[in-house]
A and B are shown apart, each in its own frame.
Chain A
Amino acid sequence: MFHTDMSQTTKPWHTCCWVSRASYLTFLICVAYFAALLESPCTALAQEVSAQDATDVDFVRDVRPILERHCYDCHSGDQPSSSLRVDHKASAFSGGELFGKKIIQTGSGDSLIIEFVSNPKHEMRMPPEGEMLSQLEIDVLKKWIDQGAIWPDGVDQVEIADPREHWSFKPLKSIADLISINGSTIDPDNPMWPRSPIDLFIQKKLIDTGLKPNDEATRRDWLRRVTLDLTGLPPSFEEISAFETSNEVDAYEQVVDRLLASPRYGERAAQHWLDVVRYADTHGFEVNTERPNAWPYRDYIIKAFNHDTPYDSFVHQQLTGDTDGYDAATGFLVTASVLLPGQIGQDEPSKRLARQDALDEIVVNIGQTFLGLTIGCARCHNHKFDPVSQADYFGMQAFVAGVEYEDRFIRDAESQKITEELRVRLNSHSKKLAEYVPLFPSREKRPPINARHNIDRFPSRKVDRIRFTVLATNRLEPCIDELQVCDPSGINIAHAKHGATVTASGSNTSPDRHELRFINDGLFGNSRSWMSNEDGAGWVEIRFPSAAEVDRIDWGRDRYSEFGDRLPIKYRIEGAFENDEWFLLAEHTDRSNYDENAPRQAIFLDGEDRDRRSSIVQEHDSLLNELRKYGDGGRPIFAGVFRKPDDIHLLRRGDPEQPQQPIPPAVPGVFGDLALDRYADEPQRRRALAEWITRTDNPLTARVMANRIWQSHFGVGLVETSNDFGRNGAAPTHPELLDYLAVKFVESGWSIKAMHRDIVLSSTYRQSSVPHAKGIEMDADLKLLWRYPLRRLEGEALRDSLLSSTDQLSFTMGGSGFDLFDKRGGLTGFEPIEVLKASNNRRMIYSHRVRRERDAVFGAYDCPDGGQSLPRRRESTTPIQALNLLNSSIVIQLTQKIASAIESSTSDDDALRITEAYRRILGREPKQTEIELAVPSVRKHGLDVLCRALFNSNEYLYVR
């Protein structure tokens, strides 16, 4: 079944599965087929029916054969047309997705089935093509319905399991019960094998199958395995040696604690999470422009794993972090690709469909990530396999109907710091700019007034207040966004933070936009400005807490240059000290005439030193732009904007042009009756959803996450389909073990690290990966874990390992991603960066992820492309991978780095150097034969060739 081909289409009728126009075609073809079948039996049937005419209609004898002949071809089985199946009593009466229970109702006049089969001209005539039912057949159906549509129980030839009985929807059992179900599993030959309850469950299945756990892995193999698993980086030769020789009783535990405490752990664990939520740093779809502020969500995830944020809080924060101090966490809601406004068709239906698609992505994300449910399948019709109806789907949509895919400006310490730094830089830059403005009064003309930024310089005067009087504007009441009065050192003493106070002739106030206090609040832009209440006139007076020398005043109408009206074009600036005698500091009279079209710059751009002038102006503009981006005190993060929720309706066939009844926020009925009012507040909705997901009796949440953690250590989860715990997903290989882990998880306070610890210290995890014939014969897929599964490094782990082995890895964490390509978004033509440079040598999780563009070298190792959720890393093996690792410029450069590092740190002895290469790359000493084998090549071609071979070796590429 497909349920996803919905997005950005403009054809409302094209829906996902069974009801699209194309599936009507399917239907028509079915009909043509069975019309042919019908030709002969028709007459016989008619006679048979007429004989029954006088008596009661019997379902099995009279009705079912009609349904069988005319309807079953399309309306029976697991995937019936329009979700209507008439081969099963309960299903037939509950109807399909188009008409529900109206198909068969108490009276034949009300039953749509009669209407459809009787009228060949009807839009919904049934069968849609070919011969209609005979009159006698129609009469039988009518009569049957009029007699009460008696469909005896137990006569159906098919059974449909109650989807609510599905294993993952049932409550978790207690640990005691689980262990008792598992039964005693002590193997007399190996009674000491189980170290943890985990091992009891694994051992039981092995014994039942006639297998035994494998031998214990060497310390070296276990250390390399657990280090790569928990940090994504290989252990060093020194770490391996120390561990191999350690006598401490808790040597293993110490290793695990060290790894879990390392910041490298969060970087590793976050990768899987980002795969699942299809995180990327571009918007996707055809334009695929940069999403420059997505990374705070990535950083949040890494931090949350490092802090071992309890999983229930982790879920909460991602749904409602805006309300509890985890702003970046709500990036979860908007990780999907989204169409930008310009990409959506101009017509209203296109806009409505785009909005539906955007909401759908959020529901899909919540469903598969937290609940392991493919809720999105119910967008157009009731779920085929799981007890999620279309109404349930829209109930889920209503929880997030107030989410918009946009940057949200947040004011946090980080943003304060950034904007503060920018202001300091801007301030000192203004001083540089001012050097190009002559002192007032000037014989040469000063630059004309402009709406953005004007500088008045004058011989230094001592003042305790200044007054700015507007004498004329270009139109309307004057408006000033910021008036800065600077002392000779450049400090703006007018800023309110220095204690300056302000009065005015009168103000037009509109809260949060035009207020008198905005004139000296340090913030720019029209929405932080003062407006006079007089057309073309008005004054402002700023009084300083103590007298000071001043020699410059900077002012503007709108420093962000959006607005050019309300500009004072004639003005006078005066100062005073102690008494009431105002003296002139500057005025407009020596300025060039105002010209609306002149460049909005404080200085003349032309002149002898034109290049210098233009570069200084450009620098000023870019600082202002930067400041503006930070929204004056906030920084943008792509974590969604929350507004009054859309009114959600059930959409017939998922088509936004066919709204049906309104649907309030509610969880799927099978999981309980949590429902909110249709008019519930926005944050209340998300909070209620988060609370429901993290209830300890939610049967899915803990199971799904415990399974993901397990998967991170064995490559495959106990439930192989880690995003789908529904009926169509895989069944757990060890259901009791999964429940045990889930219960433990909740009992531990939802500690993810505690679960990792339990798993990697278990005997199951400590098994050797070496295969044997019996195991391969009985369980080639390793579902029973009779050995530890060999796994190839993921693309990220491979890149990080290469950097680490060659001592090039930078451990700088967080922030905007580094570039893998020559550009950060766009349609096409991404040229990979192939030069090794320090700023790029960070862990790959910090790369700027362009949707659809996998890294040119390591992406081929099955890295996700941010299109669809990736619940589990695949391991493919391709010649392109081989070419990339053998020949790519990056790998070659790293090879040269390590070779020359070894050459310069060891004496000129091939055997020594070969030994050092083995230590650094494979973390072990070479055998004598290995040295002997390598010597001739190394002697002839240098150490590079050996390092290159070692990096490509299976021993390096695989976790054993």
Chain B
Amino acid sequence: MQREGLLAADQNKIDPSRPYAAREAHFPAKAKRVLVIFCAGAVSQLETWDYKPELYKRDGQLLDGGPAVTFQGPAGELAKPQYSFKPRGQSGKMVSDMIPHLAELTDEFAFIHSLTSTSNTHGPAENFLSTGSVLDGFPSLGAWVTYALGSENDNLPAYVAIPDPRGVPQNGSNNWGPGFLPAAFQGTTFSASQPIRNLKAPGSTPEEDEAALELLRSINQAGDADYSGDDKLAARVASYELAAKMQLSVPNMMNLSNEPGHILRSYGADSVENPTKAAFARNCILARRLLESGVRFVQLFNGSYASGGELNWDGHNKLKEQYDRHAAIMDQPVAALYKDLKQRGMLDDRLVVWCTEFGRMPMFQKGAQGRDHNPDGFTCWLAGAGVKQGISHGATDELGWKATENIHPLYDFNATILHLLGLEHTKLTFRHNGLDRRLTNVEGHVINEILR
């Protein structure tokens, strides 16, 4: 690893026998750990956080000078927001009734309304959000962060990706892939309903497991005697020790039965009539437990793959009908998770990110009751450690179509997240195929306006 790794400071070189050892940031960090809530399928900014009264006035009108054809086909008429909006909190910011629980927290978040993506196709755009490249094979944000900072827990993976109960997002594992970074920094996937694979050998008793491990230790001890100078073998032995710890810690982490009833209720994890919501809520509780335990980076997915908008936020045809369902799954659990983190004082050094790969068009698609892809202006938010509360930064035009004020490519968004973790995005590099690669390509500016 030393051959290729290149962190800001030499003392940050990664010890192969302890790849997850905590490492110093480039400068003192506001946030030590991150929760990324990734809403797959492109949540409409117009139905959530980006209130556009002009659209009510021009509902049903054709947009002069608008595109004839958008991603999926011919464009139709402008369409008003499909939910009503109300002023919220002290700021009085207008937020949609689609997400009543999250709307109550409006004063907590720093909204960026002027994000842009470089792709209007889900797969590449989800890659772009997660890895800074539209192509497969580049390291994810979580991989970069754990590569830079390691972990704060010896018993758990440094980076956990929690897939939605409905399935994984488009481009699947590339969203938590290590790309060309060492595989140690790949996100480990598990969820409340899908535990880590191979934690337990089928049909083997704990005594047999221990006997095998004990034999392994002695075989290695004897066999490696001549190689004490080669840290590869020491690293391998250490990886088995961490694996053994995970065998104990992960099932414990997954066991939500010791969560009190009021917690389960507040997240909606007890919902009988909406099992998807209950399953997602359990993932939210798991996310909190991981963040409590020192896991560096938790990526919580909401929504899965392309499915005509049935399983994610891709509302092309019947947006209202589908968003009613998706909002019911996402809203209460995420709001409860945020409140839970806050109530436990965890937001002092944890960052919460809510994001989606792009936004949606102000017009409906021709002959449909939904909106097409729009990478030219959409909304995500940050909250928690180091982030200003209750502010809205940047803006789209009066229709919510294109970002017009303080335009920020997603590079800036990622640069800002790294900054909050004490990492200078231009210095966090890794040499690959002759190039010093970084998460933000040659782009990226920290969005200082939203920082505390």
**Residues in A lying within 8 Å of B, measured CB to CB:** 1-11, 14, 16-18, 20-23, 25-26, 29, 79, 284-287, 337, 339, 343, 345-347, 350, 368, 374, 720-721, 723-724, 726, 728-730, 769-773, 776, 780-781, 790, 792, 827-829, 832, 851-854, 856-857, 860, 862, 865-869, 871, 874-884, 886-889, 892, 929-930, 933-934, 937, 940-941, 944-946, 948-950, 952-955, 957-958
Q: Is the pair A829, B243 in contact by a Cβ cutoff of 8 Å? A: no
Chain A residue at smallest Cβ distance from B173: A852
Please state if B183 and A930 are interface contacts (CB–CB under 8 Å): no
B182 in complex: contacting residue of A4, A874, A949, CB < 8 Å: A874
Verify B170–A10 contact, CB threshold 8 A.
no
| A-B contacts besides A6-B134, A25-B445, A886-B209, 18 pairs, CB < 8 Å | A8-B134, A18-B442, A22-B409, A26-B445, A285-B136, A286-B124, A721-B434, A724-B434, A771-B227, A781-B2, A827-B305, A827-B306, A868-B138, A874-B180, A883-B199, A887-B209, A888-B198, A892-B202
Interface of B is mostly: loop
Q: Is the CB of B211 within 8 A of A286?
A: no
- Bound-state Cα–Cα, A862 to B184, Å: 9
B-chain residues with CB within 8 Å of residue A726 when the two chains form the complex: 434
Residues of chain B contacted by A880 (CB below 8 angstroms): 157, 186, 188, 196, 198, 243
For the complex of A and B, 7 pairs with smallest distance between CB atoms: A286-B123, A867-B137, A867-B136, A868-B137, A724-B434, A876-B183, A882-B243
Stretch from B49-57, B228-236, B255-263, B315-323 that touches the partner:
B228-236
Contact in complex: B215, A933 (CB < 8 Å): yes
A661 to B319, CA, bound (A): 45
Which residues of the other chain, B, contact A374 by a CB distance below 8 angstroms? 433-435
* Cβ B435 vs Cβ A770 within 8 A: no
B167 part of interface (Cβ distance < 8 Å): yes
Residue pair A1, B204 in contact (C-beta under 8 Å): no
Q: Select one of B137, B216, B226 contacting A865, CB under 8 A.
A: B137
B383 to chain A, nearest CB (A): 25
Interface contact A346-B73, CB-CB below 8 Å: yes
Verify if B449 is at the interface (C-beta below 8 Å from A).
Answer: no
Q: How far is the CA of A78 from the CA of B132 in the complex (A)?
A: 23
Q: List 5 A-B contacts (CB under 8 A).
A: A1-B436, A11-B119, A868-B136, A868-B179, A954-B224
Residues of B within 8 A of A860 (CB): 183
* Docked complex Cα distance between A366 and B330 (Å): 46
B405 contacts the other chain (CB 8 A): no
- The verdict on A10 contacting B71 (CB below 8 Å), with A286-B123, A877-B184, A879-B242 known, is yes
Q: Counting CB contacts under 8 A, is B65 at the interface?
A: no
CA distance A880 to B190 in the complex (A): 12
B214 interface residue (CB < 8 Å to A): yes
Residue of B with least CB distance to A18: B442
**CB-CB contacts of B437-448 with A at 8 A, as 1s and 0s?**
110011111000
If A865-B137, A883-B196, A887-B201 touch, whether A790 touches B242 (CB-CB below 8 Å) is no
CB contacts (< 8 Å) of B173 on chain A: these are 852-854, 865
B171 CB-CB contact with A under 8 Å: yes
Shortest CB-to-CB span from A716 to chain B, Å, is 8
1-32 of chain B: CB within 8 A of chain A: 2-3, 16-17, 19
Q: B172 near A886 (CB under 8 angstroms)? A: no
Interface centre among A23, A285, A954 (most CB of B within 10 A): A954
Taking a contact as CB atoms under 8 Å apart, the answer to whether B215 and A937 are in contact is yes
Given A5-B134, A949-B219, A954-B224, A828:B441 Cβ within 8 A: no
Does chain A have a CB within 8 A of B223?
yes
A593 smallest CB distance to B (angstroms): 39
- Does B246 sit at the interface, judged by CB under 8 A? yes
In the bound assembly, the distance between CA atoms of A852 and B178 in angstroms comes to: 11
A889 nearest CB neighbor, chain B only: B202
- A870→B411 CA distance, assembly (Å): 25
For the complex, give the distance between the alpha carbons of A23 and B412 in Å. 12
Contacts of A781 in B (CB 8 A): 2-3
Q: How far is the CA of A957 from the CA of B223 in the complex (A)?
A: 12
Which of chain A's residues have a CB closer than 8 A to the CB of B17?
877
| CB neighbours of A878 from chain B (8 A) | 19, 183-184, 186, 239
What CA separation (Å) do A730 and B444 show in the bound complex? Answer: 27
Residue pair A867, B437 in contact (C-beta under 8 Å): no
Q: How far is the CB of A886 from chain B (nearest CB, A)?
A: 7
- Chain A contacts of B3 at CB under 8 A? 720, 781
Q: Is A772's CB under 8 angstroms from B134's CB?
A: no
B248 at the A/B interface (Cβ < 8 Å)?
no
**A346 & B211 in contact (Cβ 8 Å cutoff):** no
Cα distance A865–B435 when bound, in Å? Answer: 20
Q: B-side interface residues toward A, CB under 8 Å?
A: 2-3, 16-17, 19, 67, 69-73, 118-124, 126, 128, 132-138, 157, 167-174, 177-180, 182-184, 186, 188, 196-204, 207-209, 211-216, 218-220, 222-224, 226-227, 229-230, 232-233, 235-240, 242-243, 246-247, 304-306, 375, 407, 409, 411, 433-438, 441-445
| CB atoms of B236 and A930 under 8 A apart | no
Least Cβ–Cβ distance between A72 and chain B, in angstroms: 18
Q: In the complex, what residue of chain A is closest to B246 when comparing beta carbons?
A: A879
Q: Establish whether residues A729 and B434, one from each chain, have CB atoms under 8 Å apart when the complex forms.
A: yes
B182 engages A876 (CB within 8 Å)? yes
Checking A9, A350, A930 against B219 with a beta-carbon cut-off of 8 angstroms, the contacting residue is A930
Task: Contact check, B435 vs A1: say whether CB atoms are below 8 A apart.
Answer: yes
B183 and A862 within 8 A (CB): yes
Q: Are A892 and B204 in contact (CB under 8 A)?
A: yes
Chain B residues positioned under 8 Å from A941 (CB to CB): 207-208, 211
The chain B residue with its CB closest to the CB of A850 is B172
**Measured between C-beta atoms, what is the minimum distance from A671 to chain B in Å?**
18
Cβ contact within 8 Å between B232 and A790? yes
Q: Which of B174, B216, B232 contacts A875 (CB 8 A)?
A: B232
Assembly CA distance A7 to B138 (angstroms): 13
Cβ contact within 8 Å between B204 and A853: no
Chain B residues positioned under 8 Å from A22 (CB to CB): 409, 411, 443-444
B314 to chain A, nearest CB (A): 11
Closest residue on chain A to residue B304 by CB atoms: A828
Contact A949 B212 (CB under 8 A): yes
Taking a contact as CB atoms under 8 Å apart, the answer to whether B227 and A345 are in contact is no
The smallest C-beta distance from B41 to any residue of chain A, in angstroms, reads 11
- In the assembled complex, the Cα of A780 lies from the Cα of B69 at a distance in Å of 59
Asked if residues A857 and B182 are in contact (CB atoms below 8 Å), the reply is: no
Contact of B214 among A829, A851, A857, A937 (CB under 8 A): A937
Residues from chain A with Cβ under 8 Å of B188 in the complex: 880
Q: How far is the CA of A10 from the CA of B200 in the complex (A)?
A: 46
**Distance between Cα atoms of A854 and B209 in the complex (Å):** 26
B171 A852 Cβ-Cβ under 8 A: yes
Which single member of B19, B198, B411 contacts A884 (CB below 8 Å)?
A: B198
A25 to B222, CA, bound (A): 60
Q: Is the CB of A865 within 8 A of B136?
A: yes
Q: Determine whether the beta carbon of B69 is less than 8 Å from that of A346.
A: yes
Q: How far is the CA of A816 from the CA of B246 in the complex (A)?
A: 38
With contacts A892-B202, A954-B220, A955-B223 taken as known, whether A2 is within 8 angstroms of B136 at the C-beta atoms is no
Instruction: Tell me if B201 and A723 are in contact (CB < 8 A).
Output: no
Contact (Cβ within 8 A) A11 B375:
yes
Q: Which single residue of chain B is at the shortest CB-CB distance from A851?
A: B136
Contacts of B211 in A (CB 8 A): 937, 940-941, 945
Query: Nearest Cβ in chain A — how far from B3, in angstroms?
Result: 6
The listed residue (B124, B233, B247, B444) touching A9 by CB distance below 8 A is B124
**Inter-chain contact A7/B174, CB cutoff 8 Å:** no
When C-beta atoms are compared, the residue in chain B nearest to A721 turns out to be: B434
Q: Which residues of A contact B445 (CB under 8 A)?
A: 25-26, 29
Question: How far does the alpha carbon of A650 sit from the alpha carbon of B71 in the complex, in Å?
Answer: 26
- Interface-central residue, A284, A771, A860, A941, by most chain B CB under 10 Å: A941
User: Which residues from A are CB-within-8-Å of B208?
Assistant: 941, 944-945
Question: Is A286 within 8 A of B171, CB to CB?
Answer: yes
B243 touches A883 (CB 8 A): yes
Question: Are B232 and A776 closer than 8 Å at their CB atoms?
Answer: no
Bound complex: CA A309 to CA B157 (Å): 46
Give the residue name and chain of the A residue nearest to B219 (CB): A953
A345-B124 contact given A829-B167, A877-B236, A941-B208, CB 8 Å threshold: no
- The contact of A886 among B157, B177, B198, B223, by CB within 8 Å, is B198
